[in-house]
Structure formats: structure tokens, C-alpha cells
Amino acid sequence: MNNFTGMIPAEIGRLQGLFSLNLSSNRLSGEIPEQICNLTNLQMLDLSGNHLTGKIPAALNNLHFLSRFNISNNDLEGPIPNMGQFSTFPDSSFGGNPKLCGPMVANHCGSAEASPVSIDPIKQIGSEAIIFMTSFGVFFGVGVLYDQKVLARHFG
């Protein structure tokens, strides 16, 4: 605990070499700055035990190396991003934020607040292939039956 107060400065996004950022158990307030999403090498982010408000920046999904994340015990609100590594973080990473919603917490989001759903491209291609093959099979079968009737009329 450092007893830091005030807002997390937007300039933090300039520290692109950071691997770990632990600002837990302070008295930080305000929103999580979007610029924190510029820390593309970040592996650990702990902002727990502060007075942070607002929504979790969706662009945190772009921090592909982020393997440890904790924003518990703040006053954050809105949907928890449900794509990327966010689905791998334990529920305790989000606890103590009664206004957060999503699959990781007891409060489920209404449809108006729901985060965009990620569609697995392989599953999407598989579904499209099944639809195409089924359509092709039906039309092929109809074509064969039609040809047999035409041939039967001319040669039968």
C-alpha cells in the first residue's frame, strides 16, 4: 500500500515496456484510463482495492500477454468483457464491484448491456459448409430426379 490518491494518469500508456503494474490497495479514483490499453507487453495488472469507477475498457482484450488481472473491490460498473483472456480470469478478479455484470459475477447483464459475443470463425465456417452441402445435396437430388423423368419421357 502506497497511499496513492487521485486518478491514474493517462500518461501511464507511454510506459510501453511495463510487464507488471500493481497499483492495488491505494486510494485511486476515477476511471481506468483507455491509455492503459497501450501497455501491450503487460502480463500482470492489479488495480484492486481502490475507488475506481466507470466501465472496464473493452480494449483491454488487446493485451494478449495479460495472464494475471485483478480489479476487485472497486466501484466499477457495466459488462465485463467476455472475449479473449477475460474468460480465463477467476471470478475473484472482479468481486466487490456490485455494479459489474457478466458471466463471471452473480449479476448477469441485460440484453441492452451485453458485451458483443465472439463467434469462433472455425465454427462459423463449419456451419456455412453444412448449409452449403445440404443445399447442394438437395438441388443435386432434385436435378437427378428431373433428369430421370426427362430421359424416361424421351427414351421410355
The predicted structure's pLDDT at residue 44 = 98
The answer to whether the beta carbons of residues 100 and 77 sit under 8 Å apart is: yes
Residue-number span of the structural domain to which 79 is assigned: 8-99
Residue 132 lies in a domain: no
Residue 30 lies in a domain: yes
Residue 85 lies in a domain: yes
Look at the chain and report how many structural domains it folds into: 1
- What does the pLDDT look like over 76-106, one tens digit per residue? 999 998 888 888 999 999 999 999 999 888 8
pTM: 0.69
For residue 142, name the pLDDT band (cuts at 50, 70, 90).
low
User: What CATH number does residue 56 fall under?
Assistant: 3.80.10.10
- What does the pLDDT look like over 20-56, one tens digit per residue? 999 999 999 999 999 999 999 999 999 999 999 999 9
The predicted structure's pLDDT at residue 126 = 62
How far, in Å, CA of 12 to CA of 34, rounded?
10
The answer to whether the beta carbons of residues 92 and 106 sit under 8 Å apart is: no
- Other C-beta atoms within 10 Å of 36: how many? 21
The predicted structure's pLDDT at residue 37 = 95
